[in-house]
């Protein structure tokens, strides 16, 4: 043997075909990786499968698919209660809706939606229905005999949807 092992690395007793092995201690990075992955697997099993505290992998995907479907529906001009609720959480839509509201609606409904000539739009009381599509309808067609103008021809669909989303953002999410 040309290179006798250093004293702190003993030779293992066995010999195979005249070959002997040092009894190396495994490097720390290797041990940390090994024990770390064992601990991770145990914790993942415990939290993910026994306590079911981790989100299911499919749930995030489903959420994303739903959001994509809503976004697609929105950009196609389709509108529904669900789409309007989703718009009411989109800060870009809300910025646009706020601008329309403050310039067009605030004179009668007040800048903070508390109501004056027109009724309060941030409480739970609705004359014409509480569903998002009810709001779209009343904003589009107005209630001329009560003093709510017809906004459909003035604002167009996009702005009406945006201002409706802005009003909805003051309502508790269903």
Q: Closer to ligand HEC at the Cβ: 87 or 121?
A: 121
Instruction: Tell me how crowded residue 173 is: count the other CB atoms within 10 A of its CB.
Output: 8
Would you say 86 or 132 has its CB closer to ligand HEC?
132
Give me 154's structure tokens: 């003035």
Token duo for residue 127: 């004359």
CB of 153 to ligand HEC, least distance (A): 12
Q: Considering the complex, what minimum distance in angstroms separates the CB of residue 90 from ligand HEC?
A: 17
d(CA 66, CA 158) in angstroms, rounded, equals: 21
Measured from the CB atom, the residue of 60 and 127 that comes closer to ligand HEC is: 127
Question: Residue 87 CB, nearest distance to ligand HEC (Å)?
Answer: 14
Binding site for ligand HEC (CB under 6 A): 104-105, 107-109, 117-119, 121, 126-128, 135, 138-139, 143, 146-149, 151, 163
Least separation in angstroms between residue 139's CB and ligand HEC is 5
Nearer to ligand HEC, 48 or 119 (CB): 119
Q: What separation in angstroms does the CA of 114 have from each of 125, 135, 160?
A: 12, 16, 19
- Least distance from ligand HEC to the Cβ atom of residue 121, Å: 6
Nearer to ligand HEC by C-beta: 111 or 147?
147
Backbone CA torsion sign across 117, 132, 103, 141:
negative
Q: For residues 162 and 96, give the distance between their C-alpha atoms in angstroms, rounded to a whole number.
A: 6
Are 79 and 133 a contacting pair, CB within 8 Å?
yes
Listed in sequence order, the residues at least 6 apart from 136 whose beta carbon sits closer than 8 Å to its beta carbon are: 79, 84, 160, 161, 164
The structure tokens 């709001």 sit at 135
């Amino acid at each position: 043997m040309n290179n006798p092992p250093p004293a702190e690395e003993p030779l293992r007793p066995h010999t195979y075909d005249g070959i002997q092995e040092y009894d190396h201690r495994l490097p720390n990075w290797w041990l940390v990786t090994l024990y770390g992955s064992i601990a991770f697997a145990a914790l993942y099993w415990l939290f993910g499968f026994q306590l079911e505290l981790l989100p299911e992998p499919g749930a995030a995907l489903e959420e994303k698919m739903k959001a994509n479907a809503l976004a697609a529906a929105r950009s196609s001009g389709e509108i529904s209660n669900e789409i309007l609720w989703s718009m009411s959480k989109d800060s870009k839509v809300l910025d646009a809706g706020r601008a329309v509201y403050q310039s067009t609606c605030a004179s009668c409904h007040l800048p903070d939606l508390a109501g004056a000539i027109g009724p309060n739009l941030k409480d739970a009381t609705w004359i014409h229905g509480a569903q998002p599509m009810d709001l779209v309808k009343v904003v589009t067609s107005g209630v001329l005999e009560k003093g709510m103008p017809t906004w459909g021809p003035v604002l167009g669909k996009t702005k009406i949807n945006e201002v409706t989303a802005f009003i909805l953002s003051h309502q508790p999410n269903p």
